[in-house]
């Protein structure tokens, strides 16, 4: 299972970790994903959704 939001398709982002002495090292930022039961195409399924989509109401959760 990929670390990608199933609603907005937000995924990993890469960049540099910059130390105090200005040395650069590669690093990644992962989205804050939660495994929730949501209604997709009329049926409840378990999907990975980022917390931004959950908070904004873009996901219809099933009980």
Q: Where are the domains of the chain?
A: 1-63
Q: Alpha-carbon torsion 22, 24, 25, 27, what sign? A: positive
Q: Which residues contact 26 (CB under 8 A, 6 or more apart)?
A: 14, 15, 16, 17
Q: Which pLDDT score is estimated for 43? A: 93
Q: Which pLDDT score is estimated for 1? A: 66
Over residues 18-58, the pLDDT tens digits come to 999 999 999 999 999 999 999 999 999 999 999 999 999 99
- pLDDT confidence tier of residue 63, bands split at 50, 70 and 90: confident
Pick the CATH number of 1-63 from 2.30.170.40, 2.40.50.100, 3.40.50.300, 1.10.3720.10: 2.30.170.40
């Amino acid at each position: 299972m990929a670390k990608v939001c199933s609603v907005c398709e937000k995924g990993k982002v890469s960049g540099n970790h910059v130390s105090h002495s200005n040395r650069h090292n590669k690093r990644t930022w992962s989205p804050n994903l939660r495994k929730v039961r949501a209604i997709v195409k009329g049926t409840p399924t378990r999907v990975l959704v980022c917390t931004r989509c959950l908070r904004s109401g873009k996901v219809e959760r099933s009980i």
